[in-house]
């Protein structure tokens, strides 16, 4: 029997001969898991066949993993769901007040979205989490590494060094456990996310960062005519991320830009970009706002958090409580 879910080869699925297998591998689907989490449209594209038969293959892949006990069954008892929730862990952010807002930190099995204007601290939070996720669990970390998917070219290893040293950690060790992946266009991002399972296992990552989730799609799909296509592709992207979060029990953190909504007369006219597609897939959405040197974080959408906000600051030490100022 396969040791992990990733070792289950495509040959295990009835209906996949050597030719089909090669086509799937060429299309970036190289395991039964990859097939199980693919969308019918994608598989159809890869195989050049009918969507119907693609759906069948996907269904067989899921069934196979379930029969091996490697994939969560679709119908589970609430007691099992509770057990799964108990396996949920949290990563501290570096600021106690931000942690409190998040009821303890950034959760595994979920997508947490930080959105806000430029300079509001999204990228800095991501950098800090790359360090804190490596802390042992008694210090609020998960004792594992991070994968940082950088779409904006703003990842700075020097910042990791500063943040690690400020916490009294060995910066070299920290750098060894953060894997950077630079992506250049929306197709590339989609391809990278498709192949992530392998890297999550290989690097024992407990945190996956996409900074930012939407900038590439937003820049490339311009004009109303392309909106439906863009939203569909973003949709499959974020759902794939959610499945990775659940299957591997990792935390997924994405950043998002804001767009202004000129028809708002009351309140803040800014909204996270990406519309409903992003809104529905992200479990937690946190709005970041600059207020002088401080940052205000507001929890916008959450199944279990009360509406609240808090303040923290960003310094050379990363994310910190305001009282931590030397």
Q: Which residues bind Mg ion (CB under 5 A)?
A: 122-123, 154
Residue 180 φ/ψ, nearest 5 degrees: -100, 135
Residue 204 or 291 with smaller CB distance to ligand GTP: 291
Identify the bridge partners of residue 91 per DSSP, sorted by sequence position: 106
Residue 68 or 315 with smaller CB distance to ligand GTP: 315
Q: Is 272 helix (H, G, I), strand (E, B) or coil?
A: strand
Q: Which of 62, 51, 49 is nearest to 19 (CA)?
A: 49
Residue 152 or 201 with smaller CB distance to ligand GTP: 152
Q: Tell me which residue has tokens 């679709």.
A: 74
Q: Which stretch binds ligand GTP (CB under 6 A): 19-27, 51-59, 85-93, 309-317?
A: 309-317
- Cβ of residue 196: shortest distance to Mg ion, in angstroms? 21
CA dist 282 to 103, 105, 193, 269, Å? 16, 15, 16, 21
Q: Which residues contact 65 (CB under 8 A, 6 or more apart)?
A: 5, 8, 32, 33, 36, 71
Q: Is 186 in the site for ligand GTP (CB under 6 A)?
A: no
Binder of residue 116, out of Mg ion, ligand GTP, none (CB less than 5 to 8 A by kind): ligand GTP
Site string (202-241) toward ligand GTP, x via CB under 6 A: ----------------------------------------
Task: List the interface residues with ligand GTP, window 119-148 (CB under 6 A).
Answer: 119-124
Residue 42 φ/ψ, nearest 5 degrees: -65, -45
- Cβ of residue 226: shortest distance to Mg ion, in angstroms? 24
- Cβ of residue 134: shortest distance to ligand GTP, in angstroms? 20
Binder of residue 315, out of ligand GTP, Mg ion, none (CB less than 5 to 8 A by kind): ligand GTP
**Burial per residue of 18-50, b for 16 or more beta-carbon CB atoms within 10 angstroms, e otherwise:** eebbebbeebebbbbbbbbbbbbebbbebbeee
Residue 165 or 246 with smaller CB distance to ligand GTP: 165
Q: Which stretch binds ligand GTP (CB under 6 A): 61-69, 98-106, 259-267, 314-322?
A: 314-322
Query: What are the DSSP E strand ranges found in 230-322?
Result: 251-256, 258-260, 270-272, 284-291, 294-301, 309-315, 318-320
Distance CA 52, CA 168 (A): 56
Query: How many residues interact with ligand GTP (rule CB under 6 A)?
Result: 14
Binder of residue 121, out of Mg ion, ligand GTP, none (CB less than 5 to 8 A by kind): ligand GTP
Question: Which of 118, 265, 266, 307 is the binder for ligand GTP (CB under 6 A)?
Answer: 118
**Residue ranges binding ligand GTP (CB under 6 A):** 116, 118-124, 152, 154, 257, 314-316
């Amino acid at each position: 029997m396969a040791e992990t879910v990733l070792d289950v080869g495509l040959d295990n699925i009835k209906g996949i001969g050597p030719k089909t297998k090669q086509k799937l591998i060429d299309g970036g689907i190289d395991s039964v898991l990859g097939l199980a989490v693919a969308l019918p449209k994608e598989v159809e594209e890869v195989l050049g066949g009918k969507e119907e038969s693609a759906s069948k293959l996907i269904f067989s892949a899921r069934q196979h993993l379930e029969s091996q006990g490697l994939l969560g069954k679709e119908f589970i008892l609430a007691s099992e769901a509770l057990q799964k929730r108990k396996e949920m862990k949290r990563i501290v952010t570096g600021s106690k007040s931000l942690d409190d807002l998040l009821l303890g930190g950034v959760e595994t099995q979920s997508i947490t979205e930080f959105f806000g204007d430029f300079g509001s601290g999204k990228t800095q939070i991501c950098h800090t989490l790359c360090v804190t996720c490596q802390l042992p669990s008694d210090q609020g970390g998960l004792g594992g590494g991070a994968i940082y998917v950088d779409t904006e070219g703003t990842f700075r290893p020097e910042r990791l060094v500063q943040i690690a040293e400020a916490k009294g950690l060995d910066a070299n060790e920290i750098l060894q456990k953060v894997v950077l992946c630079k992506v250049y266009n929306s197709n590339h991002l989609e391809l990278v996310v498709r192949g992530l399972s392998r890297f999550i296992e290989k690097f024992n990552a407990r945190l996956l960062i996409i900074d930012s989730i939407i900038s590439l799609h937003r820049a490339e799909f311009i004009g109303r005519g392309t909106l439906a296509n863009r939203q569909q592709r973003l949709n499959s992207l974020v759902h794939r991320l959610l499945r990775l979060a659940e299957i591997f029990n990792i935390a997924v953190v994405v950043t998002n830009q804001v767009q202004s909504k000129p028809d708002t007369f009351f309140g803040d006219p800014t909204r996270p970009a990406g519309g409903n597609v992003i809104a529905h897939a992200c479990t937690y959405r946190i709005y970041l706002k600059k207020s002088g040197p401080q940052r205000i974080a507001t929890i916008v959408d959450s199944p279990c958090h009360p509406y609240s906000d808090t303040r923290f600051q960003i310094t050379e030490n990363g994310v910190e409580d305001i009282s931590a100022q030397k």
